[in-house]
């Protein structure tokens, strides 16, 4: 056996906390680098009104930290943030986290990784886990005059809670999962609400189920029931719903579309508004929006859905192509994220000083969504090509971490010196992935953040069972290990 490894984890969001817990349990030395002053990642940064996770809470939980106290089937963001903070507290993970330490570079020196942070701290590590998230870098819309707006303006992931909105004219650009959740809560509560919709969304109706105190007490006292619920929901969600909608020919997306269409027909009374909200592409081509209140919200008082294209932003509001000026006090940009950034702008250099930025100059990709040729002992959780879509990212990260630990165990036993995917294996995986991606529902003719610069979905295109099988055991033949 060689000496114990030393790990750097980049990011203290859901995936980074998971890695920290698992390493702590394994008695392995690690440091978590976190640029902010709190844990939580996406749940720390996204605090917009109406934020919730539309993946059921009992599977948006670590399998080893099931939570009997979830308030709802799909719980609000603040409660999810609290869940992560409580776990970090209870397990003493704080002690391993360097807050305010944004990693600026990670360099492979031939034997180990030299990791440097903006706070000046630098150290050497045997393994690096990048847990920096996908939906992390806000994307601002490329609209003329954006900077000229004289009211308050912010991106949905940078909500300004200092402004009382009740007497304001609020405009929101974007109708993705974020824009629709904001609308569900905010429309009707402000002086005037304008939702600027470029593309209509298919909306899956999901009842907002609140767990009763009796049900929660039952989960508290009956751990087996809680575990069964986690398992059943995981199967239904990942192997059932999220997997079956991938295949454009499965017929499931047709039945989801019918469900969404019925919801639209029966819940939106004004025919003109109904037509504005009717999508013209296949359901699930964009990420499905799940909502219990969006259609209700757009029919509230003092609320308008604007479908005229935006021509430009002016100091006092949004000018649409019909010449109308929509005067606003507040403009919210629910315009999504730069999903090809991942760890960037960190400078990550691998074997022979090769920069990850250069390897990814066209677009990011990763062998099995985890590793990159030329970057030994460097692995990502929820990295490029990971199952996103409507899958539970927690389960994905758990499986990815168990896989990485199998390589670490070989390293600890002295059987390998390092591990990174061979170029041939990485290329073969990517070629197969791209072919499969072309046959998914995401490639049926809509635009979405799933598509890369070529218009090919960059996400995991296979069934979740394939992901689980791949993660069960590393194929050492696909790796360079000495």
Contact residues for ligand NAP, defined by CB under 6 A:
52-55, 135, 141-143, 156, 173-179, 181, 196, 198-199, 287, 310, 334-336, 447, 449
User: How near is the Cβ of 47 to ligand NAP at its closest, in Å?
Assistant: 12
Burial 105-126 (b: 16+ CB within 10 A, else e): bbbbeeebbebbbeeeeeeebb
Structural contact between residues 153 and 143, judged by C-beta atoms closer than 8 angstroms = no
Residue 191 or 206 with smaller CB distance to ligand NAP: 206
Residue 109 or 447 with smaller CB distance to ligand NAP: 447
Residue 377 or 400 with smaller CB distance to ligand NAP: 400
Using CA atoms, how far residue 440 sits from 243, 379, 429, 450, in Å, is 10, 26, 17, 11
Residue 287 or 433 with smaller CB distance to ligand NAP: 287
User: How near is the Cβ of 204 to ligand NAP at its closest, in Å?
Assistant: 12
CA dihedral 363, 367, 371, 377 (to 10 degrees): -140
- Residue identified by tokens 């039945």 is 255
Report the distance separating Cα 103 and Cα 99, nearest Å: 11
As given in the structure block, the two tokens for residue 468 are: 């689980």
Listed residue (43, 146, 136, 45) closest to 337, CA to CA: 136
User: How near is the Cβ of 479 to ligand NAP at its closest, in Å?
Assistant: 31
Which residue of this chain has its Cβ atom nearest to ligand NAP in the complex? 176
Residue 30 or 342 with smaller CB distance to ligand NAP: 342
User: How near is the Cβ of 464 to ligand NAP at its closest, in Å?
Assistant: 16
User: How near is the Cβ of 140 to ligand NAP at its closest, in Å?
Assistant: 8
List beta partners, residue 463: none
Report the distance separating Cα 421 and Cα 197, nearest Å: 43
For 193-240, where are the alpha helices, taking DSSP H only?
A: 213-221, 223-234
Report the distance separating Cα 389 and Cα 300, nearest Å: 30
Considering all CA atoms of the chain, what is the largest pairwise distance in Å, rounded to the nearest integer? 73
User: How near is the Cβ of 156 to ligand NAP at its closest, in Å?
Assistant: 6
User: How near is the Cβ of 437 to ligand NAP at its closest, in Å?
Assistant: 17
Under DSSP, the state recorded for 151 is S
User: How near is the Cβ of 180 to ligand NAP at its closest, in Å?
Assistant: 7
Give, rounded to a whole angstrom, the gap between the first and last alpha carbons of the chain: 16
As given in the structure block, the two tokens for residue 270 are: 């004004």
Report the distance separating Cα 311 and Cα 105, nearest Å: 40
Bridging pattern class, strands 169-173 and 330-333: parallel
User: How near is the Cβ of 471 to ligand NAP at its closest, in Å?
Assistant: 21
As given in the structure block, the two tokens for residue 84 are: 């992560």
Report the distance separating Cα 421 and Cα 75, nearest Å: 38
């Amino acid at each position: 056996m060689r000496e114990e490894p030393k790990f750097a984890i980049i990011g203290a969001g859901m995936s980074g906390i998971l890695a920290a817990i698992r390493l702590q349990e394994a008695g392995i030395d690690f440091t978590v680098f976190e640029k902010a002053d709190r844990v939580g990642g996406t749940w720390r940064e996204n605090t917009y009104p109406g934020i919730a996770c539309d993946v059921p809470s009992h599977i948006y939980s670590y399998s080893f930290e099931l939570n009997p106290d979830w308030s709802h089937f799909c719980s609000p963001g603040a409660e999810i943030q609290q869940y992560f903070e409580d776990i970090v507290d209870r397990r003493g993970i704080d002690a391993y986290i360097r807050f305010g330490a944004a990693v600026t570079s990670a360099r492979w020196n031939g034997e180990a990784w030299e990791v440097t942070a903006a706070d000046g701290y630098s150290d050497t590590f045997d393994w690096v886990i990048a847990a920096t998230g996908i939906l992390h870098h806000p994307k601002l819309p490329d609209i003329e005059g954006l900077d000229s707006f004289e009211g308050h303006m912010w991106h949905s992931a940078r909500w300004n809670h200092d402004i009382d909105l009740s007497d304001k004219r609020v405009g929101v650009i974007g109708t993705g999962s974020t824009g629709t959740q904001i609308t569900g809560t905010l429309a009707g509560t402000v002086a005037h609400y304008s939702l600027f919709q470029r593309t209509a969304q298919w909306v899956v109706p999901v009842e907002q189920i609140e767990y009763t105190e009796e049900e929660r007490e039952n989960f508290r006292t009956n751990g087996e029931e809680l575990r069964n619920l986690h398992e059943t929901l995981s199967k239904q969600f990942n192997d059932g719903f999220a997997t079956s909608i991938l295949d454009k020919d499965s017929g499931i997306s047709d039945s989801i579309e019918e469900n969404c269409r019925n919801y639209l027909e029966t819940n939106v009374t004004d025919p003109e508004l109904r037509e504005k909200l009717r999508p013209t592409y296949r359901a699930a081509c964009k990420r499905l929006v799940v909502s219990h209140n969006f259609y209700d919200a757009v029919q509230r008082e003092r609320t308008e859905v604007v479908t005229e294209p935006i021509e430009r932003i002016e100091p006092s509001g949004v000018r649409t192509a019909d010449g109308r000026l929509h005067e606003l006090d507040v403009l919210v940009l629910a315009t999504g994220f730069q999903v090809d950034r991942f760890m960037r702008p960190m400078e990550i250099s691998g074997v022979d000083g090769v920069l990850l930025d250069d390897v990814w100059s066209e677009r990011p990709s990763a062998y099995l969504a985890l590793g990159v040729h030329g970057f030994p002992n460097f692995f990502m959780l929820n990295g490029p090509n990971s199952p996103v879509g409507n899958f539970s990212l927690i389960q994905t990260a758990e499986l990815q971490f168990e896989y990485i630990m199998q390589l670490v165990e070989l390293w600890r036993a002295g059987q390998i010196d390092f591990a990174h995917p061979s170029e041939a294996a990485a290329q073969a995986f990517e070629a197969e992935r791209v072919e499969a991606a072309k046959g998914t529902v995401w490639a049926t003719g809509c635009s979405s953040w799933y598509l890369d610069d070529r218009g090919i979905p960059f996400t995991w295109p296979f069934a979740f069972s394939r992901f689980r099988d791949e993660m069960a055991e590393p194929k050492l033949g696909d790796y360079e290990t000495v």
